[in-house]
Structure 1
């Protein structure tokens, strides 16, 4: 084993050169644990001697304590050394922490000894071995480190506002325009890590609060997934305005104030400000970002294109679509040139290549509708051998799901329970759709007992565990399920039936393998529910609480394939609709009316609560003003649920006839809110511009008569 001094001298010979080259490197330490810890301590002592910042992620080391395992909290921080000591190799943490390193920094990976690595780890190790910039360190020898001299662009602070590049200056201009220009024109600022995005936010704030023409006080709020994510932002404020006053998460300059405020506090209190900045927006649930967009008319969102969220590109695609509804004139700006390290930095290129961050494929340019495509099942071995196919499959998933991460690449390649289905255009060999299916069910008696007693959460057993714990299906583990975990169609080919064809093919393969039931679970909205219902999936449950990420209730849908699963599905659907009327008045009181209607629209009569003759008498008595609303509410609700489940186009068109509503859709939403959800008269009057209880009852009777008359 090389001595402490040997390794220290070896490190000191080449590390200054990579710092001068303005680049970063990965060092892979192989060998026994004692040797790895010895090397890690040398690296730590080397950097710490000059008070340079070090961070450990993973297993504790004796020489470095007090570390955290939450890598997300390190975003926005900058380090000279990151020691990655994780036997399981968390790919999200690895890629994210690589982005916290400054030029001259080292990512030191203490490589675990793995007897039989999976496809994913084989890929990682192959990529690291093939890359000439990766330094492999063993106890046998200290390698010669090759460093090619790179002529780095010298950044100059002569550019206005303290910006280091013209591109960063343009970003500052765009941010300031949000504060001073027209209202309701938010900005989405995206960049890969190290491009000066957070600094641009700070420099824009500095311009705003130091402007000679600015007389009145400016109040700027900034939010992020965690306070730590704004570390660089506040550092820049303190650097450029040393006479400002800084306290934790707050900076004051003259009469102006810049404060960090958590997202939940922003939404709960809506503090006024001249400008709201949301840094690392991809780490915040989209529905919360949209609420902020409606609450504030001067707002800037920033997102890392590649980082812990894995797919900033996917985030940007999805979020732009949603934001356009609220703010059609929103602006976008992307920073390309790196500032914290050189162009084509070896570590950045390695991470991008290994985790497929940079897969820009034909799917991005395939604008024409594909007339013919082939649907097939592919194996993980095929993906391992065909890099282009792997890139395309992963790119399609990224484009459709903004939370796709490097861990999803690991799932795709390693999980033996995963089935992969694709639709591909034969002429261009372009993948246009992907579905990931996970095999579930058939656990041991001991495992089932542990689940029942809440002692254990089984991996890859979402559906049976859900049925057992939430719906009381004791025999849930006696069935075989295929759960569609992801299904994605590239944007240019959507609404063409490709997704439906993919589901049909999956069903055929499931039947061939005697699978009992196809399932899926997702954050429910009317369009997604309609997509699955079109393929004959039925809703069996809707989560009581909203999903934290989407702000929507999670739906569980099934498609039974065998006789015994058909019987089970019928029982579950009946149970769901029996509960629905109660939950619409409680947990689902604010459920969007279009989703309520979609849930009811394809319900079969056998699944719905029966309507008694007395209910019909009460409905007619209410319409004739012979009974009050609350006396009639239960019968009205049962009758309306059945009516809405058979809603046809002729009935729908006439709902607003002789009413104060501007459309049939608005009239329909009104009766759902009043009868099914029992919303307060005050809320309904405000929402539909009605004068109060009397007018609400008048309009209610008119809409219901329109339904009966059809």
Structure 2
């Protein structure tokens, strides 16, 4: 068939998309140059203006807006009539998830791919990222693309066209659904009790959006929190923008944050539109900042990065956190310092793939002293309900994967579950099992991405273990093989070369200068998740024990790395893992300082773990008073108590230093006079925990002795009535340490004060 057939199909697809106010997907598969030419034919036939089309390709020279596929995230928060994804270079599941939502109702999403029968067996850039040493590219499978191609050939609204080298086409599926015309829409009325300007409600496109704006009126009252949840394309950011503008006209200082400034573009755009409708005069109009003159209310809307927003939260009137699901829980919690706060978050879709907000943060929000209002938006704005491209993307990328319903697993206990290896072939063949297992990982981790689905199915170093109750997955662990690298690779790592997929060996070799850290073979627990309905029953610990029983004889150690919190450190410590490192910078994903922990399983592993525990003990005192001086005191306590203290040296304090220390504990001395012996005692106690001290006293040791904080902020943080009382409390905290670790010189000095 000629190109005329393709042009006719593209015309029909666009016409149906417009009539239904939905989108259609056109797949062009063959060789690259022919597919690119065919894409131009289709877009021209569909009457898409060049300014309304974007192509994602590693090639250059297009008349459309062009980005590389690895930069597809730049399309988040934007809309286009057509988006073309060239999958011949830099193809990744993330690129699909980030770009497909940019197509507006009535538009086309065009995918250019190798011949579909061959595509699963081809290897590209993303596959190379999965070939982590000691595995090679030949070890990477094509399961994800096999499943992806199946969805393209089976799902409604997807047209598939084969293109040969001469430009001839064969329409394998026309993708036409015969869907009903889009229903006519009417603007929702302004609520009778509205306090925001009527123009704000007249700008709403759906009843859901109007309800969201009405709920956001509560932000006028300090102590309020509003949660707006919706799938992508429901107008939640626009609702936030209307509310932000209305609040600014009342003179309020509004702070907006999001994972990236581009993610707040829709909020600022809608705010500017409403302010224009209200004839407000903008004293400042910048990309990240809007200020009104006094006659227009004198308020302000400004963007700050998440970390900056946390620091400024108590100095503004209202905070809007857009795409809150993509923010670490620590930062979300910090935003609660604001007088009023709105969390605007995607439920499913690319931005909502991380569910830390709904799973890990929501409990903290409910426990906070806030009046919380929840709003759910279901009505699409960018396209009509039943859009087949949205349904296809959700299925192909498992964007809506979820664990079993709580009622199905509520009876699960360690006695009712069975341990299983979930083979990747089994997962790709069983959609229900795959969705349940992946859904648990999504629900428990704030930053699970579509790429993680491909890693789960294709990466040769990854595997999955699970606990099953009545055929339901109730706990799941993603494991990564690492280490066991040859001498040449280890030397390259020592010289600074990054080696993918080997997190613990990489950090311990390149940063901590252990040339042999990558020699032992290990298994790292990348993710572990238990169904939220049955947590605290010991299922996560049982899963870790089963993993250790199965793999302990095959490897030298089990390891893990995560954003450190006291609860997580305690969980891993209870399961036999010991701290070997605390990162000196915060992790970009979690917002926390990462901890590395190891559980040895062989003599080689025990020697490996022992030397790194020893090195950790030797360096941590100096690091706590420097790069980790801001680390949470309870994280310090948990990390140190989880370190292997066996073989720790006797407290090395001279007779003179004992006189200084005992005088501060029992007499008139001051701890500021000689920090070294006090740090030695504090570290010894936090490592072995033999002396009986209260939680508050241990926090005082961390803040004042180890982190060298000034007396005044320590007094305030730990709620002492005065600086003098804080000083006296430190002396009392030192007494049991002198009694536990002191020698004859210490006890002779102590006798002077008894």
For normalisation by structure 2, the TM-score amounts to 0.85
Which segment is superposed worse, 227-236 or 128-137? Answer: 227-236
Question: Does structure 1 residue 135 correspond to structure 2 residue 159?
Answer: yes
Please give the secondary structure, in 2, of the residue aligned with 1:683.
helix
The structural deviation recorded for 1:373 is 0.5
What residue number does 1:568 align with? 608
Question: Does structure 1 residue 500 correspond to structure 2 residue 503?
Answer: no
Name the CA distance, whole Å, in 1 between partners of 2:174 and 2:107: 18
What residue number does 1:415 align with? 459
What residue number does 1:221 align with? 255
What residue number does 2:396 align with? 354
User: Among residues 338, 341, 361, which one is paired with 2:383 in the alignment?
Assistant: 341
Please give the secondary structure, in 2, of the residue aligned with 1:323.
helix
What residue number does 2:94 align with? 92
- The answer as to whether partners of 1:195 and 1:337 remain within 8 angstroms in 2 is yes
- The answer as to whether partners of 1:76 and 1:228 remain within 8 angstroms in 2 is yes
Cα deviation, 1:258-295, whole Å, max 9, x if unaligned, reads 5341225444556954432222222333322322221x
Cα deviation, 1:458-513, whole Å, max 9, x if unaligned, reads 22222222221122221223211111111111122222221122111111222343
What residue number does 1:484 align with? 525
Name the CA distance, whole Å, in 2 between partners of 1:119 and 1:604: 41
- The answer as to whether partners of 1:26 and 1:108 remain within 8 angstroms in 2 is yes
Question: Does structure 1 residue 470 correspond to structure 2 residue 511?
Answer: yes
CA gap of 1:123–1:605, structure 2 versus 1, over 3 A, is: closer
What residue number does 2:113 align with? 111
- The answer as to whether partners of 1:222 and 1:258 remain within 8 angstroms in 2 is no
Name the CA distance, whole Å, in 2 between partners of 1:311 and 1:24: 22
Name the CA distance, whole Å, in 2 between partners of 1:209 and 1:328: 22
What residue number does 1:517 align with? 557
Name the CA distance, whole Å, in 1 between partners of 2:425 and 2:91: 21
What residue number does 1:658 align with? none
The structural deviation recorded for 1:603 is 4.6
What residue number does 1:393 align with? 437
The structural deviation recorded for 1:71 is 2.4
Which segment is superposed worse, 549-558 or 49-58? Answer: 49-58
What residue number does 2:27 align with? 28
User: Among residues 714, 719, 731, which one is paired with 1:701 in the alignment?
Assistant: 731
- The answer as to whether partners of 1:577 and 1:609 remain within 8 angstroms in 2 is no
Please give the secondary structure, in 2, of the residue aligned with 1:533.
helix
CA gap of 1:421–1:706, structure 2 versus 1, over 3 A, is: same
- The answer as to whether partners of 1:198 and 1:233 remain within 8 angstroms in 2 is yes
- The answer as to whether partners of 2:156 and 2:388 remain within 8 angstroms in 1 is no
Cα deviation, 1:203-241, whole Å, max 9, x if unaligned, reads 33455567xxxxx53443333233332333344345454
Question: Does structure 1 residue 189 correspond to structure 2 residue 260?
Answer: no
Equivalences for residues 427-466 of structure 1 within 5 A: 428-454=470-496, 456-466=497-507
Equivalences for residues 559-708 of structure 1 within 5 A: 559-603=599-643, 605-612=645-652, 614=655, 616-625=658-667, 627-647=669-689, 652=692, 655=693, 664-690=694-720, 694-705=724-735
The structural deviation recorded for 1:560 is 1.4
CA gap of 1:235–1:269, structure 2 versus 1, over 3 A, is: closer
- The answer as to whether partners of 2:80 and 2:107 remain within 8 angstroms in 1 is yes
What residue number does 1:146 align with? 176
Equivalences for residues 140-219 of structure 1 within 5 A: 140-142=169-171, 144-160=174-190, 161-162=201-202, 163-179=204-220, 181=221, 183-205=222-244, 207-208=246-247, 217-219=251-253
The structural deviation recorded for 1:171 is 1.0
The structural deviation recorded for 1:433 is 0.5
Please give the secondary structure, in 2, of the residue aligned with 1:89.
coil
**Structure 2: which 5+ runs fail to align?**
123-141, 164-168, 191-200, 741-754
Name the CA distance, whole Å, in 1 between partners of 2:187 and 2:466: 51
Please give the secondary structure, in 2, of the residue aligned with 1:17.
helix
Name the CA distance, whole Å, in 1 between partners of 2:79 and 2:437: 33
CA gap of 1:177–1:31, structure 2 versus 1, over 3 A, is: same
What residue number does 1:282 align with? 325
User: Among residues 332, 338, 350, which one is paired with 1:308 in the alignment?
Assistant: 350
CA gap of 1:259–1:463, structure 2 versus 1, over 3 A, is: same
Name the CA distance, whole Å, in 1 between partners of 2:633 and 2:597: 19
Please give the secondary structure, in 1, of the residue aligned with 2:170.
coil
- The answer as to whether partners of 1:76 and 1:231 remain within 8 angstroms in 2 is yes
The structural deviation recorded for 1:577 is 0.7
- The answer as to whether partners of 2:447 and 2:589 remain within 8 angstroms in 1 is no
What residue number does 2:139 align with? none
- The answer as to whether partners of 1:123 and 1:354 remain within 8 angstroms in 2 is yes
Name the CA distance, whole Å, in 1 between partners of 2:342 and 2:723: 42
The structural deviation recorded for 1:708 is 5.9
Which segment is superposed worse, 231-240 or 438-447? Answer: 231-240
**Structure 1: which 5+ runs fail to align?**
211-215, 656-663
Which segment is superposed worse, 103-112 or 602-611? Answer: 602-611
The structural deviation recorded for 1:164 is 2.7
What residue number does 2:2 align with? 2
CA gap of 1:300–1:693, structure 2 versus 1, over 3 A, is: closer
Please give the secondary structure, in 2, of the residue aligned with 1:478.
coil
Root mean square deviation, CA, Å? 2.7
For normalisation by structure 1, the TM-score amounts to 0.89
CA gap of 1:245–1:407, structure 2 versus 1, over 3 A, is: farther
Name the CA distance, whole Å, in 2 between partners of 1:409 and 1:376: 19
CA gap of 1:413–1:327, structure 2 versus 1, over 3 A, is: farther
The structural deviation recorded for 1:609 is 3.5
- The answer as to whether partners of 1:27 and 1:136 remain within 8 angstroms in 2 is yes
- The answer as to whether partners of 1:219 and 1:273 remain within 8 angstroms in 2 is yes
What residue number does 2:373 align with? 331
- The answer as to whether partners of 2:313 and 2:319 remain within 8 angstroms in 1 is no
CA gap of 1:172–1:451, structure 2 versus 1, over 3 A, is: same
What residue number does 2:148 align with? 124
CA gap of 1:577–1:245, structure 2 versus 1, over 3 A, is: same
Name the CA distance, whole Å, in 2 between partners of 1:581 and 1:620: 21
The structural deviation recorded for 1:411 is 0.8
- The answer as to whether partners of 2:53 and 2:65 remain within 8 angstroms in 1 is no
- The answer as to whether partners of 2:491 and 2:515 remain within 8 angstroms in 1 is no
Cα deviation, 1:21-71, whole Å, max 9, x if unaligned, reads 111111111111121111222344456764652122232343236533422
